[in-house]
Amino acid sequence: MRVLLVEDEEKVASFIRNGLREEGYAVDVVYDGQDGLDMAESFDYDVIVLDLMLPGRSGLDVLTKLRQDRITTPVMVLTAKDSIQDKVKGLDSGCDDYLTKPFSFDEFLARMRALLRRCHDRSATNLVVADLVLDPVSHKATRDGKPLNLTAKEYALLEYLMRNAGRVISRAQIAEHVWDISFDTFTNVIDVHINHLRRKVDGEYEKKLIQTVRGMGYTIENK
Ligand code: CA
């Protein structure tokens, strides 16, 4: 899951960014409305977190422009309490939600998950490949009924592979969806994470689910 965060208050921005990273999300942060619009139009994000009072361009202006340009990425609007009445009325495109500041991070996360489910048509049902089961709501995975002790990044990687089960996923695709823009694609970080994940998912099992496709990337499937 890759998130674009557009928020000019640095404290709020780093609070949200750090919290999301701990949960395994890849997060790009910009502090200006115009930069936010440019990023949203240049990259493929799973969700955009958008402050309303921004320098450069207002959040509402950014949102309106995105929808005009047919970019349907779900947007979570952050708004100060006194601006709710004025601003939120126009936001209900079905793929937007809003949260008033100050907010609890737990509520923020819960709303993000709900927004992602609603907008990406991601039902709350489990992802299954053979005896490997991933529950996107609780963020837990099991193999043969035994819980896998995954880090947030390993979980994000596994979820991405399982959502694309049977398809070969390149390192570039993994980088784009699981890491953020500061990620250096020349490192072997992805391979290292895949190896850790593989040890946990496939290590003790005869049937190996995660496959390397030489020169192309990785895939997960029930062969
Ligand atoms: Ca602001």
**Tens digit of each residue's pLDDT (9 = 90 or more) over 4-47:** 999 999 999 999 999 999 988 999 999 999 999 999 999 889 89
Cα(181) to ligand 1 centroid in Å equals 22
Least confident of 84-88, 109-113, 163-167, 219-223: 84-88
Q: Calculate mean pLDDT across residues 149-158.
A: 93
Cα(176) to ligand 1 centroid in Å equals 27
Cα(6) to ligand 1 centroid in Å equals 9
Q: Residue 68, exposed/middle/buried by CB under 10 A (0-12, 13-18, 19+)?
A: exposed
Cα(117) to ligand 1 centroid in Å equals 27
Q: What is the pLDDT of residue 8?
A: 96
Least confident of 57-71, 81-95, 174-188: 81-95
